Structure 1
Amino acid sequence: MLHSGEVRSQEHAPPASTEPEPALEPALPIIDPHFHLRDYREADDPRPRYRAADFAADVAASGHAVHDSVFIECSIMYREDGPAPLRSLGETAYVAQQAGRYGPLRVSGGIVARIDLAAHTPLEALIDAHAEAAGGRLRGVRNSIAWDAYGPLAAMGPDPHLLERPAFREGLRHLARHDLSFETWQFHPQIEQVTALARAFPENRFVLEHLGAPLGIGPYAGKLDEVFAAWRKDIVALAQLPNVVAKIGGLGPFWQRDAATPVTSQALARDWRRWIETTIEAFGPERCMFESNWPANSSVSSYGQIWNAFKLVTQGCSDSEKAALYQNTARSTYRL
């Protein structure tokens, strides 16, 4: 199963064509509300690891003033035995153990866990167990639905109809009682499912990841203008619901890229601008937050270039708008 934190061909190192860039607006305070870790129980596992200290080192090297962060579940360090719904407690406990201060950065100030909301398990007890394992850091739950009929994406694993299932919807009601947000990773043709869910559960708080993850590969390759038109319609409709906030980031890993074109923050800003500006216009800055989606986005750029690109796009924003986009929305959404 591939999750949004996983990278198939690139690990957490940026592409070879990337050149280091100095941070723009280096004093601007940032909360990164979407990053992942990579670790494995087997000591001889050949897959590269990416731990909290690695994330802190990437943040420090970027020169950006990232001072807090939110870990998003990505199926690591699960328990190896016991009932299936309880195994993800291993990830929550592991992340909590890695959490803390690394210089000026707080790693995993908040944790969004994987709790199977459709599981035939007493959810109150399961949520309480994750809250305890998270050491007071549990802020939300993610169950993803990312799927497309295009072959490589059709095999990704999540149930594309999960949000419609009665068992899941019954489980979702528990999150509002615990003041936990719900978020899902989906592709742009699935945004309407998120809209229908958020409309049906106005008492819940929802987070749209990766601007709805517009696709630009397979049957969508070379058709970004068409994708943008369809995506924009769905984003504007979703933004009408006041219980939804949007994460801005995660663009690129599912787009075609010209390997001969050098990676620069200027190039990223050019490619991302219309998607970012449309989302901010639709939701308003107070319901938008920038995210790195690191290290999944390492196949696209360096960590620092992601924030430079965002800052280039928001050059014309006011100080209060920047404060919302770069930290305040994340702080209020995840109660940091």
Structure 2
Amino acid sequence: MKVNKEWLEKVSEEVVDPERRIIDPHHHFFVEGGGFPAYSVDDLISDVRTHNVVKTVYLQCWEGYRIDGPVELQVVGETEYVDAIAKRLSTVGEAVKISGIIATAELRDVNSVQTVLNAHKASSKLFRGIRQMAAWDSSEDIMNTPNLDHPMLYTDPDFVKGFRVLDDMNLVFDAWLYHHQMRSLTKLAQKFPNTTIVLDHLGTPLGVGPYVGERDEVYTEWERELKELSKCPNVNVKLGGLAMPWNGFGFEDQDRPPSSDDIVEKQSLYYHAAIDAFGPSRCMFESNFPVDKCALSYHVLWNAFKKMSAQYSESEQDDLFYGTAERVYRLD
């Protein structure tokens, strides 16, 4: 997985609705040499300047871990790492600020969950909750969550015990899984109706491996499960992440990257289905950068979002771009 800046520069667009305020509720930082494209704070600043992005939320991605001390507390290093970046940003006068951190913890490790979550909370006032990914498929063509060998993490008895601690602490939980796993998240949300849960990346309808040529069938299953999940009022959904290679649109293999109109044409069906199911007040657009940057530029992606949302009222658009993220993550 790589970002080809020369290739991305083949498509440049005038920014749509440039004054609209935006919270980007899902981005990462990656150092050079990992499995994902390097992405620094300077890269983030360069991207968010193309639109009126005023706040962001950082999502865990195994960066900045402590290299010593108790093993279970090494993940707290990521919160410390991003908190330091956020403080530097706030002192140099940048228009954008990192306003929230979603870290990680191993909820199945019931004996350490409380200690780890308390350590995250003590490390940064920006800490809002955790993500423990459950994305898993039996196909070797599809990326699986590390240290997971089955698709039902969110109904695992030990996970549920650990989740109860998160629930008691009133923290947010971000979930990432594939379309055929959504039923497990629905069960979790029903069990913990007072926990704010965020479904990442629209539930990632797969389009590679055994799902090639099955887009209509996948869509039908995805939409059915998404509607069922939307009946849980404590669940919100992030609208984005569909440019990842596992979705199977193949943008990254084209001679030219997609335009915003291309994204609208090929993907708006998914976005509108999610908004129809959850309502704008429970939906938020996300960049998922730099992972989605392998397929398109930041300004093109947000142009596509703005074009898709033009049919909604002004207050609904404000929810999709700003309000929902601000409420869900309790951003200052």
Q: Could you state the TM-score of these two structures normalised by the residue count of structure 1?
A: 0.90
Deviation digits for residues 101-160 of structure 1, max 9, x if unmatched?
352101x21000011111143332221210122x20011110001111111326542423
Q: Could you tell me which of 72, 78, 81 is aligned with 1:85? A: 72
Are 1:182 and 2:182 matched, yes or no? no
Contact 2:152/2:181 (CA < 8 Å) preserved in 1?
no
Which residue number corresponds to residue 309 of structure 2? 314
Which residue number corresponds to residue 332 of structure 1? 327
Unpaired segments ≥5 residues, structure 2: none
User: What CA distance in whole angstroms lies between the structure 2 residues aligned with 1:272 and 1:222?
Assistant: 16
| Deviation at residue 19 of structure 1 after TM alignment | 1.2
Contact 2:8/2:297 (CA < 8 Å) preserved in 1?
no
3-state SS of 1:70 partner = strand
Higher relative contact order (CA 8 A, sep 6+): 1
| Deviation at residue 198 of structure 1 after TM alignment | 0.6
| Deviation at residue 23 of structure 1 after TM alignment | 1.0
Which residue number corresponds to residue 22 of structure 1? 14
3-state SS of 2:142 partner = helix
Which residue number corresponds to residue 4 of structure 1? none
User: What CA distance in whole angstroms lies between the structure 2 residues aligned with 1:138 and 1:71?
Assistant: 10
Which residue number corresponds to residue 244 of structure 1? 235
- CA pair 243-155 structure 1, distance change in 2 beyond 3 A: closer
Which has the larger displacement, 185-194 or 75-84? 75-84
1:1-336 equivalent positions in 2, closer than 5 A: 8=1, 10-11=2-3, 13=5, 15-16=7-8, 18-39=10-31, 49-60=38-49, 62=50, 64-99=51-86, 100-101=89-90, 103-106=94-97, 108-133=98-123, 135-153=124-142, 155-159=144-148, 160-253=151-244, 254=246, 255-257=248-250, 259-260=254-255, 262-336=257-331
- CA pair 65-103 structure 1, distance change in 2 beyond 3 A: same
User: What CA distance in whole angstroms lies between the structure 2 residues aligned with 1:217 and 1:111?
Assistant: 31
Aligned AA for 1:162?
L
Contact 1:173/1:204 (CA < 8 Å) preserved in 2?
no
Contact 1:14/1:299 (CA < 8 Å) preserved in 2?
no
| Deviation at residue 17 of structure 1 after TM alignment | 6.7
Aligned AA for 1:322?
Q
Deviation digits for residues 199-222 of structure 1, max 9, x if unmatched?
111121110000001111111123
3-state SS of 2:310 partner = coil
User: What CA distance in whole angstroms lies between the structure 2 residues aligned with 1:47 and 1:158?
Assistant: 18
3-state SS of 2:136 partner = coil
Contact 2:100/2:329 (CA < 8 Å) preserved in 1?
yes
Contact 2:257/2:295 (CA < 8 Å) preserved in 1?
no
3-state SS of 2:238 partner = strand
Contact 1:15/1:298 (CA < 8 Å) preserved in 2?
no
Unpaired segments ≥5 residues, structure 1: 1-7
- CA pair 97-165 structure 1, distance change in 2 beyond 3 A: same
Which has the larger displacement, 120-129 or 153-162? 153-162
Which has the larger displacement, 250-259 or 288-297? 250-259
- CA pair 14-130 structure 1, distance change in 2 beyond 3 A: farther
Deviation digits for residues 261-301 of structure 1, max 9, x if unmatched?
65100001111110000000000000000000010101121
- CA pair 117-303 structure 1, distance change in 2 beyond 3 A: same
Aligned alpha-carbon RMSD (Å): 2.0
- CA pair 17-150 structure 1, distance change in 2 beyond 3 A: farther
Contact 1:146/1:185 (CA < 8 Å) preserved in 2?
yes
Aligned AA for 1:140?
G
Contact 1:15/1:300 (CA < 8 Å) preserved in 2?
no
| Deviation at residue 53 of structure 1 after TM alignment | 2.4
Aligned AA for 1:31?
I
Aligned AA for 2:15?
A
Identity %: 36
Aligned length: 321
3-state SS of 2:15 partner = coil
Q: Could you state the TM-score of these two structures normalised by the residue count of structure 2?
A: 0.91
Contact 2:257/2:296 (CA < 8 Å) preserved in 1?
no
User: What CA distance in whole angstroms lies between the structure 1 residues aligned with 2:327 and 2:6?
Assistant: 31
Which residue number corresponds to residue 3 of structure 1? none
3-state SS of 1:315 partner = helix
User: What CA distance in whole angstroms lies between the structure 2 residues aligned with 1:47 and 1:182?
Assistant: 23
